[in-house]
Structure 1
Amino acid sequence: MSALLHNACTFLFVPANRPERLAKALASGADMVIADWEDAVAPDDKPAARLALEQTLQLLSTAERARLLVRINASGTPWFDDDVQALARLVAVGAAGTMVPKAESAAALQQIAAAAGPRCALVPLVESVAGLDAADALARVPQVARLAFGHLDFQVDAGMQCAPDEAELQPVRLSLVLASRRAGLARPVDGVTTDTRDSARIESDTQRALRMGFGAKLCIHPAQVATVNQVFAPSEQAVAHAGAVVQAMQAAHGGVCTVNGKMVDAPILHMARQTLARHAWAEQRRMRAG
């Protein structure tokens, strides 16, 4: 898996049948862009959406192609086989891989990987109770890069009626975080915030994702990207503290020490290094954009 996909904090959807939006999405600051052949495209428009994306990809640079995932239609739908064949052609010319909706079966993921080739990264979207039950198996499929949570479809499948804070989904989110950790994957990708104008809500939802152990969030509008990136990037104070922790532990030769009156030991050092790694990624993004 590429370092880009491993570290990405923002995954922005764009309808694949609107190729003029792809350049805007790639310029939005999003780490990854997901060209959508599934929910965003009506059934009659799906063949044209495949063709449009293949044609548009030819106009992109190598670096832009590496930031592109394609959300195919789910296994068992009438469009799945054609989608997978088109996906293989896109991956062959540099696309990163695919987001797999309604992921419930390791065998289906393996089928996609076999058809699209070893360079195709897989991001299974867990959107059902069956998908949650299979989370460990999905996470352990060799080409899976990260798990993602489709919390809106999950609520429908489970018959849930969540409050605005979605507290009812905390056990589900935690299950995906733990399944990712057990499989040695990068931290999972949390679901969308449907309100594209409420910046406080997108910030709150992203803060929750960060607290729960997610490393990224799905976005449905370019206006959401900057806020999500900002939340996942540590503050200047957090970076300064993390640097102080690392320096103090080095001076103590790995032993227990204190920083600002608080004990520092191995777990605190590990968290500090994670903070510095997130900061380094945010700086890389800033330099790419600048």
Structure 2
Amino acid sequence: MSALIASANSFLFVPASRPDRIAKALASGADMVIADWEDAVSPYDKDAARTALMAACGAWAAIDRSRLLVRINAAGTPWHGADVQALKALVQMGVAGGCVPKAESAEVLERIAGIGGEACALLALVESVAGLDAVDVLARVPQVARIAFGHLDFQVDARMQCGADEIELLPVRMSIVLASRRANLPPPIDGVTVDTRDAPRILGDARRAQRMGFGGKLCIHPAQVAAVNEVYAPTATEVEFARKVRHAMQQADGGVCVVEGRMIDAPVLRLAEQTLARHDWAQQRMGASRN
């Protein structure tokens, strides 16, 4: 499975009916771009959007195609079958895989993976109570790379009326984080922030996601990408402390030691290693953006 998908923090949705926007999204700094055949495209434009993406894909560089996922229409819709067949062709062109909405059945994910081929990574989007009930099974489907939370659809399905802080969804979010960990998947991806102009809100939502154990966030506007990337990149102070922890533990041959007045043991070392891994990924992203 793609190391890029496993490490990615920012996932930017773009209507697949607008290939020109996809090219701009790929240059936005987003780790992954999701070309959307589902919610962003009207029922009357589905076939044209599929054709447009197929036609445009070949013009993009291979590295850009590897950063592209395609959100297909859900199983049971009139467009699903044609979407899966087109996804297969796109994966053969180097696209990373598909984002599967309304994920509720391992059988559906396995069928999509079987058609898409071994190189087809899947992002399973949990958007319903049934999806939450099945999340442990979904997370163990071999080609599922990560789980994502579609919290807006989930609220509708569960008949919830959440406050602005979405505190009512904390147990659901934690269930998804723990299911991903039980399946040994990379941390899951949190849902979108609908207000594209509220910079403090996107930062706050991303920080909550990061604190809870999510490894990234879905975005619906390029302006949100930088905030998400910023949250997932450790500060210089955090990186310096993590390096001190690693050095001190090496000097102590893995035993307990003290750094800046704090007792350091194996769990603290693991947290430090995670911080340094996030730093390495952020540095890699910055290097790619300069090239």
Q: TM-score range by the shorter chain?
A: over 0.9
Matched, 1:283 2:283: yes
How much identity, in percent, do the aligned residues show? 66
SS of 1:98's partner is: strand
Instruction: Write out per-residue CA displacement over residues 225-276 of structure 1, whole angstroms, 9 at most, x where no aligned residue.
Output: 0000000100000000000000000000000000000100000000000000
Give, in whole Å, the separation in 2 of the partners of 1:248 and 1:163.
Answer: 45
- The alpha-carbon deviation at position 44 of structure 1 amounts to 1.0
Look up the match of 2:204. 204
Look up the match of 2:97. 97
Letter in 2 for 1:102: K
Look up the match of 1:50. 50
Look up the match of 2:176. 176
Look up the match of 1:164. 164
SS of 1:145's partner is: strand
Look up the match of 2:72. 72
Look up the match of 2:153. 153
- The alpha-carbon deviation at position 3 of structure 1 amounts to 1.0
Letter in 2 for 1:175: S
- The alpha-carbon deviation at position 10 of structure 1 amounts to 0.2
Instruction: Write out per-residue CA displacement over residues 181-207 of structure 1, whole angstroms, 9 at most, x where no aligned residue.
Output: 000000000000000001000000000
SS of 1:147's partner is: strand
Give, in whole Å, the separation in 1 of the partners of 2:118 and 2:76.
Answer: 22
SS of 2:237's partner is: helix
TM-score (norm 1): 1.00
Look up the match of 1:85. 85
Instruction: Write out per-residue CA displacement over residues 139-192 of structure 1, whole angstroms, 9 at most, x where no aligned residue.
Output: 000000000000000000000000111000000000000000000000000000
Letter in 2 for 1:50: R
Give, in whole Å, the separation in 1 of the partners of 2:20 and 2:117.
Answer: 28
Letter in 1 for 2:101: P
Matched, 1:33 2:33: yes
Look up the match of 2:242. 242
Number of positions where the alignment pairs a residue of Structure 1 with one of Structure 2: 290
Give, in whole Å, the separation in 1 of the partners of 2:93 and 2:18.
Answer: 20
Give, in whole Å, the separation in 2 of the partners of 1:2 and 1:125.
Answer: 18
Matched, 1:195 2:195: yes
- The alpha-carbon deviation at position 78 of structure 1 amounts to 0.5
Give, in whole Å, the separation in 2 of the partners of 1:176 and 1:289.
Answer: 31
SS of 1:230's partner is: helix
Look up the match of 1:136. 136
Q: RMSD of the TM alignment (CA)? A: 0.4
SS of 1:12's partner is: strand
Give, in whole Å, the separation in 2 of the partners of 1:248 and 1:165.
Answer: 40
Give, in whole Å, the separation in 1 of the partners of 2:80 and 2:3.
Answer: 28
Letter in 2 for 1:163: G
SS of 2:145's partner is: coil
Give, in whole Å, the separation in 2 of the partners of 1:145 and 1:267.
Answer: 26
Give, in whole Å, the separation in 1 of the partners of 2:56 and 2:241.
Answer: 45
| Structure 1 unpaired stretches of 5+ | none
Letter in 2 for 1:8: A
**Runs of at least 4 residues of structure 1 off by over 2 A?**
none
- The alpha-carbon deviation at position 211 of structure 1 amounts to 0.5
Give, in whole Å, the separation in 1 of the partners of 2:2 and 2:17.
Answer: 27
| Structure 2 unpaired stretches of 5+ | none
SS of 1:48's partner is: helix
Give, in whole Å, the separation in 2 of the partners of 1:285 and 1:133.
Answer: 35
- The alpha-carbon deviation at position 80 of structure 1 amounts to 0.4
- The alpha-carbon deviation at position 135 of structure 1 amounts to 0.1
Look up the match of 1:10. 10
SS of 1:118's partner is: coil
